[in-house]
């Protein structure tokens, strides 16, 4: 695992955070999970959302270089839009 796994000290915490995120449908719910587990950086937030959505990258993402915060905002928008749920878990 990567840096977010370093923040969440055990695989159990990591899996618990991903599981709780799966049920979130509002920004407030997502921010609550991040706060509970001490997830603070845009990179860690993006990684956790990606893990929950079971994606590694987007094929239709903007082509210009984005800041870490912009990449997180984009990922958050995709997460909240929700169509990834139709593809998750087969």
Closest of 83, 87, 16 to residue 4, by C-alpha: 16
- Structural domain for 12, as ranges: 3-86
Residue 42 pLDDT > 90: yes
pLDDT by residue (tens digit) across 53-78?
987 665 555 566 788 899 899 999 99
Q: Higher model confidence: residue 64 or residue 79?
A: 79
pLDDT of residue 59: 56
User: What is the C-alpha separation between 84 and 78, in angstroms, rounded?
Assistant: 8
Is 0.85 surpassed by the pTM of this model?
Answer: no
Q: Are 50 and 76 in contact (CB under 8 A)?
A: no
What's the total number of domains in the chain?
1
């Amino acid at each position: 695992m990567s840096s977010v796994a370093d923040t969440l000290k055990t695989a159990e915490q990591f899996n618990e955070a991903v599981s709780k995120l799966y049920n979130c449908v509002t920004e407030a719910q997502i921010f609550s999970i991040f706060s509970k587990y001490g997830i603070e950086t845009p990179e860690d937030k993006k990684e956790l959302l990606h893990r929950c959505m079971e994606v590694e990258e987007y094929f239709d993402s903007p082509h210009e270089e984005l800041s870490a915060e912009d990449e997180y905002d984009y990922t958050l928008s995709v997460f909240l839009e929700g169509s990834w749920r139709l593809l998750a878990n087969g």
